[in-house]
Structure 1
Amino acid sequence: MHSELVDLASKIKKQFEGESTGHDWYHIDRVRKLALTIQKNEGGNALIVEAAALLHDVSDHKFNGGDFLKGGEVAKLILENIDINEEFKQQIVDIVNKVSFKGSGEKDEMKSLEGKIVQDADRIDALGAIGIARTFAYGGSIGQMIYDPEILPQKNQDVEQYINERTHTINHFYEKLLLLEGRMHTSTGKEIARKRTDFMKTFLNQFYEEWKDDV
């Protein structure tokens, strides 16, 4: 870890320890490690990547009333106390503001390589076995049913639909998770996402088999 970020990591760990929706410190630390792994292969500034990964969930829109820019505002305040040059700080704030998935019908706004790396890392942690666990943890936290076969997934959701339309957790696989492999920016991210997405498809097949047997 960059020496400038040791205190930041400690602060973020303290803030997110015990969080129960899948957006806990361990998620943040996994994203940090994944992002640095991708950065080693793809290039970019490692300090910006690591700081943005640590701060990417500092005020997530899912928990702050739907404000996608609040995270950047909070990140900017935190960065005031860290010895990083101002240009880097602005790049980090921009990444935090743009990292979130905003709906299957919305285009990604991320421009910088560092931002694309952090976004890939965050999305990778939404996939695979951990991604499945996080998905159901979050779904339960907001009162979503596990599954209702009569409620079909929505396609090409805009940001308002993505935020406000509540269905069931299995739909989230089709409205977001299974789409992420195709929205990876980096070659490294695509390779990791492919394996994890295949595992999720296997899980869904097993889920439907067990659901069919239960009715």
Structure 2
Amino acid sequence: MKLEEFISSPQSRQLIESVRNFAKSFFERDGTHGFSHVERVFNLCMHIGREEGADLEVLALAALLHDIARPLEDAGKVEDHAAEGARIARRYLKSLGYPDEKVEAVAHAIEAHRFSRGPEPRTLEAKILSDADKLDAIGAVGIARVFMYSGEQGRDIEASIKHFEEKILKLKDLMYTKTARKIANERHRFTVEFLRRLRLEIEGEL
């Protein structure tokens, strides 16, 4: 994705690239919640944000920073990576002289990006980030991520199917924006078809 297609200001693009490098430094390894996930969420945010009329600079920064504390949560060092990520983002962006109002907009989006716990996203940018994070769990990428995680955790195919049924297949109904709902519906259909075929193959019918 070419950033200049979404962000016209050279100063803004430079800021976003600096934040990208800062965010990437938190990830020693990739995986289901590695920096490749962050990049995909970023790309989704730019596409959805342009369609929905969001502040793309705020959205870009929030997307890049939304999971910076995820490695800390995975290591048991913090309880909530969204809350801790917002704290880190505030300190970092303030150190760059970023306007306080925009710092808080970025921090709120990070705090509210998890669909499984509060706070509820109040701004358009927060809603888009939450949508993009959920969208990365649906469709072809979502299927790949489920089985990556299953491999990491030693989880079998049946347990993976249960995860789809209990969580992944419910995500399309949790989108906030019209653009995300459209994407989610298509990704959901693909996921449902995959699971249908997977069950048939398990039963030896295909």
Task: Give the TM-score normalised by structure 2.
Answer: 0.83
Choose which of 16, 30, 41 in structure 1 pairs with 2:27: 16
Instruction: For 1:15, give the aligned amino acid.
Output: F
Partner residue, 1:81: 95
Q: Does 1:53 align with 2:63?
A: yes
Q: Equivalents in 1 of 2:49, 2:183: separation in Å?
A: 14
Question: Is the 1:35–1:118 Cα contact (8 Å) retained in structure 2?
Answer: yes
Alignment of 1:1-215 (within 5 A): 1=3, 2-16=13-27, 18-20=29-31, 22-60=32-70, 63-65=74-76, 66-67=79-80, 68-102=82-116, 109-147=120-158, 168-213=159-204
Structure 2 gap ranges (5+): 4-12
C-alpha contact 1:44 1:113 (8 A) present in aligned 2:
yes
Q: Distance in 2 between matches of 1:134 and 1:111?
A: 28
- Deviation of 1:34 after TM superposition, in Å, equals 0.9
- Measure the CA separation in 2 of the matches of 1:36 and 1:176: 25
What is the CA-CA distance between 1:62 and the residue it aligns to? 5.5
SS for the counterpart of 1:69 is helix
Taking structure 1 as reference, are residues 85 and 23 closer, same or farther at Cα in structure 2, changes over 3 Å only?
same
Partner SS state of residue 111, structure 1: coil
1:200 counterpart letter in structure 2: T
8 Å contact from structure 2 (residues 26, 69) kept in 1: no
Task: Give CA-to-partner distance per residue, 1:98-133, whole Å, 9 cap, x none.
Answer: 21131xxx6771111100011111111111111111
TM-score normalized by the length of structure 1: 0.80
Q: What letter corresponds to residue 24 of structure 2 in structure 1? A: K
- Would you say how many aligned residue pairs link Structure 1 and Structure 2? 190
Q: Distance in 2 between matches of 1:84 and 1:46?
A: 15
C-alpha contact 2:112 2:118 (8 A) present in aligned 1: no
Question: Against the structure 1 CA distance between its residues 199 and 87, is the aligned structure 2 distance closer, same or farther, given a 3 Å change threshold?
Answer: same
Please give the root-mean-square deviation of Cα atoms over the aligned residues, in Å: 2.1
The list of structure 1 runs, each at least 4 consecutive aligned residues, that deviate by more than 6 angstroms after superposition, is none
CA separation in 1, counterparts of 2:168 and 2:119? 15
% same residue? 33
Q: Distance in 1 between matches of 2:55 and 2:105?
A: 11
Structure of higher RCO (CA pairs closer than 8 Å, 6+ residues apart): 1
**1:34-87: per-residue Cα shift (whole Å, max 9, x none)?**
101111111121111000000111113851534252222222233233342111
> Larger helix proportion, structure 1 or 2?
2
Supply the AA of the counterpart residue of 2:177: T
Contact kept in structure 1, 2:94 and 2:100, CA below 8 Å:
no
CA pair 64-85 structure 1, distance change in 2 beyond 3 A: farther
Unaligned 5+ runs, structure 1: 148-167
Match of 2:160, as an amino acid? T
